[in-house]
Amino acid sequence: MNEQNRRPSKDQESPNVAARGLIFNEPVLFEMGSPGRKAYSLPECDVPELEIETLLPPDEIRGPIEEFPELSELDVVRHFTRLSQWNFSIDTNFYPLGSCTMKYNPKINENMARLPGFAQHHPYAPEMFSQGSLQLMHELQECLKEISGMEHVSLQPAAGAQGEFAGMLMIHAYHADKGKPKNKVLLPDSAHGTNPASAALCGYNAVQIPSDKEGLIDIDKLNQLMDEDTAAIMLTNPNTLGMFEKNILEITDIVHKKGGLVYCDGANLNAVMGIAKMGDMGIDVLHFNLHKTFSTPHGGGGPGAGPVGIDAKLEPFLPVPVIEKKGSQYHMNFDRPQSIGKLKAFYGNFGILVRAYAFIRSLGPEGVKQAAESAVLNSNYIKSQLKDVYHLPYPGPSLHECVFNDKHQAPKVTTMDIAKALIDHGFHPPTVYFPLIVKAALMVEPTESESKETLDLFIQAMKDIAKQAKDDPDAVHDAPQLPKVSRPDEAHAARQPTLRWRKG
């Protein structure tokens, strides 16, 4: 970008002055407004007015907020619209977060979730008035069963981590029912951080399995660690390096022979859906990230959904209620004495389930498979174009994501510098410093959403940054220069966040 597009100096910045084009600087709400200004106009009250003190105890009444802004409707609308123009989103450009799978959410899915029959369906409506919603959920269960090869599915968990926790609770209940409680769970060193957390919440000790030189589970170490006190192994397939665990049948056999179960983190199902089924690999529990794989909204702490699929032997322990079909009617079965219980109010985040259902039905079986194939193709295209520019610590075959690091650019330019420099090229940075087994990792996942033209622009930006790192490393270290906020001190922001507005 030319110099005219660079940020203005601090003394040039003021509220409502265009910084670049029509992107405006914006004050906080407390610096706006005028006394007496209102954002509403209501008719006079036609019922007797009462003082709030007659209705609530004193400790329940909020005092006045000092210098509370008084704004018109237009003030509020313009303020938040301008702030939205500062945002980066999957609707504005490429968002290559590895492992997080930030792919585009087709707008048809949003439209379906907003249909009045779904959006206005009250969760307390009786089953006789809920048949359409129950049918959708039952059919989504069947779709996920077909895609995964699992024999039963619960849609109730409200996030991938909760689906993971539900799966581990069912594993715990299974062993307890057998009269053979266990005390530990095995996890690869490349596991997602929620895996050991879920194991610990269920009372297990997490024992790490090292990866071999290919970035896969070390079979010899697994044989040494697997014993009859092990409840399960929690693995991810493809793993967090984007590599398929080629010894998966041997792994599941080793675990099953010692009485353990196999939990699979479904975070990377986007690489294999429609191609391979986890149930055929000996997986006993699998959670689905609907936001990663089936194109529902992602991040921000929710709303989300993390259905969990299980093998038949775990069926008695499914969360309640279980959605069943009897004849032509659908109903929720709460009469399940061995259930691990209820995980979420009502039946989870229903609007998210509608979006996932619309995505699957829009694609159909061949479309689901093609999406996975395109995701793998896109990732390997990036990998092939950048493998001579950035270091590949594990150069073996990968699927939907690829992991580089800064070995060729360090120490003058680091992974964080490279990630920040991408912002000046109009791209969101990829995942950095994860998985932990790769020092200074740069983890890129393009998904099936992106075109070759977008990938080529990203590849060229990465090459340009690598060249600049060699020719002018200080410029890369100072990036980004073009956004509204350039390079804040993240450590200071995390440890001493400003959570309350102070005048001046």
pLDDT of 355 reads: 96
152-178 pLDDT tens trace = 999 999 989 999 999 999 999 999 999
Going by pLDDT thresholds of 50, 70 and 90, the confidence category of residue 6 is very low
Instruction: Quickly name the fold that domain 371-494 has.
Output: Aspartate Aminotransferase, domain 1 (3.90.1150)
pLDDT of 301 reads: 55
Going by pLDDT thresholds of 50, 70 and 90, the confidence category of residue 322 is very high
Q: What is the mean pLDDT of residues 112-136?
A: 95
Average confidence score pLDDT of the chain:
91
Q: How many residues does the chain have?
A: 504
pLDDT of 24 reads: 78
Query: Which CA distances in Å does 63 have to 58, 60, 70, 184, 501?
Result: 10, 10, 16, 52, 17
pLDDT of 18 reads: 53
Task: Output the six-digit token pair for 21.
Answer: 């084009």
Going by pLDDT thresholds of 50, 70 and 90, the confidence category of residue 303 is confident
Q: Give yes or no for residue 5 having a pLDDT over 60.
A: no
Going by pLDDT thresholds of 50, 70 and 90, the confidence category of residue 20 is low
CATH of domain 149-362: 3.40.640.10
Q: Give yes or no for residue 10 having a pLDDT over 60.
A: no
Q: Which of 49-53, 86-90, 490-494, 498-502 is predicted most confidently? A: 49-53
**Pairing mode, if any, of strands 18-20 and 230-236?**
unpaired
Going by pLDDT thresholds of 50, 70 and 90, the confidence category of residue 222 is very high
In sequence order, the β-bridge partners of residue 330 are 325
The answer to whether the beta carbons of residues 427 and 96 sit under 8 Å apart is: yes
pLDDT of 297 reads: 84
Q: Give yes or no for residue 189 having a pLDDT over 70.
A: yes
Flag the least confident range among 4-18, 195-209, 452-466. Answer: 4-18
The answer to whether the beta carbons of residues 455 and 447 sit under 8 Å apart is: no
Q: Give yes or no for residue 127 having a pLDDT over 80.
A: yes
What are the start and end residues of each CATH 3.90.1150.10 domain in the chain?
371-494
293 Cα distance to chain centroid:
10
258-284 pLDDT tens trace = 999 999 999 999 999 999 999 999 999
- What DSSP letter does each residue of 392-455 carry, written as one string? -SS-S--SS-EEEESTTTTTTS-HHHHHHHHHHTT----EES-STTSTTEEEE--TTT--HHHH
pLDDT of 307 reads: 96
Q: What is the mean pLDDT of residues 141-145?
A: 98
Q: Give yes or no for residue 414 having a pLDDT over 80.
A: yes
Going by pLDDT thresholds of 50, 70 and 90, the confidence category of residue 13 is very low
444-474 pLDDT tens trace = 999 999 999 999 999 999 999 999 999 999 9
Flag the least confident range among 31-45, 160-174, 403-417. Answer: 31-45
What are the start and end residues of each CATH 3.40.640.10 domain in the chain?
149-362
93-102 pLDDT tens trace = 999 999 888 8
**Nearest-10 crossing angle of helices 452-471, 415-424:** 120
Q: What is the mean pLDDT of residues 41-67?
A: 90
Q: What is the mean pLDDT of residues 489-494?
A: 86
Percent of the chain with pLDDT over 90: 76
Flag the least confident range among 273-277, 316-320, 397-401, 493-497. Answer: 493-497
In sequence order, the β-bridge partners of residue 404 are 442
Q: Tell me the torsion sign for CA atoms 158, 161, 164, 169.
A: negative
* Among candidate residues 249, 272, 222, 221, the one with its CA nearest the CA of residue 398: 272
pLDDT of 17 reads: 56
Going by pLDDT thresholds of 50, 70 and 90, the confidence category of residue 4 is very low
113 Cα distance to chain centroid:
19
